[in-house]
Amino acid sequence: MRASAFRNPPATTGRHRRIGILGGSFNPAHAGHLHISRHALDRLRLDEVWWLVSPQNPLKPIDGMATLEDRMNGARALTQGSKIRVSDLEREIGTQYTADTLKALKGRFPRCRFVWIMGADNLIEINHWNKWTAIFETVPVAVLARPDYSFKALVSTAAKRFQRYRIKEIRASALADSKPPAWVFLEIPLSAASATLIRSGR
């Protein structure tokens, strides 16, 4: 679905809609993305997950990056018939950094409750992202376990910085309605799928 086709989703009776946001290059989209999205939908009691396909991640090289159109088409093919919507919203609104994108999303869709979703590997390096603390201060954050990354993630700079705002995993279903900063670490069955391995043919 084109980003321009996104409209403010109707409120579910008695509450705002809960939307998980998974951003990335999706170069290509793969089973690992589906894996964490499905667990986020279930554990966080989300209505939908939106995949925001980045025109160009500023922390990743252009070399080897498929076209945005190809990455969008691959993501759409993988998510047909699911509660996952694919968007190039960052291209439409002209944002490059996650913090700016999330701020724009909240302004564009005021009736939604957004949650930023990421794997444990991203929590380890998020302190290198532009305006990274603003991400935690703008929307609740859900971090999902990934093979070999969980321990490092929980002792990372970001985890320590926002330690007192971490909620217990048993309360994960309330995360979307929590006032940021608020974050949760979810232990889920691990998937070894990665875009790097897929591109390398392994």
Q: Any idea which fold 16-200 has?
A: Rossmann fold (3.40.50)
For residue 84, the SS3 value is strand
Q: Show the beta-strand stretches assigned E in the chain.
A: 17-24, 48-53, 84-87, 112-119, 141-144, 183-186
117 within 8 A of 19, measured Cβ to Cβ? no
Question: What confidence tens digit (pLDDT) does each residue in 49-72 have?
Answer: 999 999 977 767 777 899 999 999
Considering the chain, what is the average pLDDT of its residues?
89
pLDDT band for position 190 (50/70/90)? confident
Beta bridge partners of 142: 117, 184
Spans of all domains in the chain: 16-200
